[in-house]
Amino acid sequence: MFKYAGILLAAAALLAPTAARAETDVETCDRLAAYPDDPDKPAGVAGNYHIPRPDVGNAVKACKAATSADGAPRRIWFELGRAYEFNHQAAEALRAYRKAIDMGSTSAMVGIGGMYAHGSGVKANPAEARKWIERAAAAGDPTGMANLGAIYGSGMGVPVDFAKSRAWYTKAAAANSSEAMFQLGMMTQDGDGGPKDDAAAKGWFEKAAALNHAGALERLGDYAETGRAGPKDRAAAVAFYKKAAALGDEDAQEALKRIRCPYTLKDKNGKVAGSICYDGPD
């Protein structure tokens, strides 16, 4: 009567749910504090350009625990530095970044350079910032090269030099930096260091947009809306603005409001009383 009971029980055991594996400290640190453009970041980790405030405490805790293990990789020390920096613990951030640098992390060089460039918990020091960013750029770090392009383009502690700026942005773009592609588009659009060329600028924006650069998507929306470097295309403009807005671009968010509500109504005194919005197909 119970001939197959053992087989049925075995099958039931196979179907029983297994307990979820607990996330390791390294995995938690990567998930919360990894930087998207860090050359050392594992391929399966997305990273965040900004660590959300609710996650900062957990990032510090996980990354600190992860660095206490023997053989902790340099990216974890860099991520600990990021977590400390977002937690406004500048001294701890500098120590963690320097540990990562001793292990060869170019992203940590950029991290220290950024702290001195912006005065993030330390006294702003353009020369010190440039020193670390130049070191990262010389080592082939794409973010370091893009930041060096920004230094020469803005004249931060050096004379403005658009030729050097373009050269570093071009190197960074070749290393797949979406920010460098976007900045080359802006320089080409505005004629900084060369002739204005909307078609060429649009080409750079398209390359950066393919890598989900919010600013580049916003620019393509504007180009489509105004007919710059091509015919006007409202539907395409809305699509670009939507993608950029979803990535947090405030200009794109405002553009969506404007393009959907193009007609402003004013009262007899000339004050804005409302808008007529178009909610039809994009």
Confidence of residue 278 (pLDDT cuts 50, 70, 90): low
Q: What is the pLDDT of residues 123-153, one digit of tens each?
A: 999 999 999 999 999 999 999 999 999 999 9
Q: What is the percent of the chain with per-residue pLDDT over 70, rounded to a whole number?
A: 88
DSSP H or E stretch at residue 94: helix 90-102
Q: What is the pLDDT of residues 49-66, one digit of tens each?
A: 999 999 999 999 999 999
- Give the three-class secondary structure for 263: strand
pTM (two decimals): 0.83
Confidence of residue 271 (pLDDT cuts 50, 70, 90): confident
Confidence of residue 108 (pLDDT cuts 50, 70, 90): very high
What is the pLDDT at residue 57? Answer: 98
CA neighbor of 87 nearest in space, from 114, 46, 121? 121
Does 182 reside within a domain?
yes
Average pLDDT over residues 82-94: 97
Does 203 reside within a domain?
yes
Query: Following DSSP, what letter does each residue of 185-248 receive, concatenated?
Result: HHHHHHTTTS---HHHHHHHHHHHHTTT-HHHHHHHHHHHHHTTTS---HHHHHHHHHHHHHTT
CA neighbor of 36 nearest in space, from 78, 96, 85, 91? 78
- Separation of alpha carbons 168 and 180, rounded Å: 8
Confidence of residue 110 (pLDDT cuts 50, 70, 90): very high
What is the pLDDT at residue 259? Answer: 87
Does 188 reside within a domain?
yes
Confidence of residue 3 (pLDDT cuts 50, 70, 90): very low
Does 119 reside within a domain?
no
Does 153 reside within a domain?
no
Q: Are 2 and 21 in contact (CB under 8 A)?
A: no
Tell me what the pLDDT averaged over the chain comes to.
91
Does 189 reside within a domain?
yes
Average pLDDT over residues 199-219: 98
Q: Is the pLDDT of residue 172 over 80?
A: yes
CATH assignment at residue 207: 1.25.40.10
Confidence of residue 260 (pLDDT cuts 50, 70, 90): confident
Does 140 reside within a domain?
no
What is the pLDDT at residue 136? Answer: 98
Q: What is the residue range of 202's domain?
A: 177-282
| Total of domains in the chain | 1
Q: Is the pLDDT of residue 233 over 50?
A: yes
The two tokens of residue 3 are 């001939």
Does 230 reside within a domain?
yes
What is the pLDDT at residue 263? Answer: 65
Confidence of residue 31 (pLDDT cuts 50, 70, 90): very high
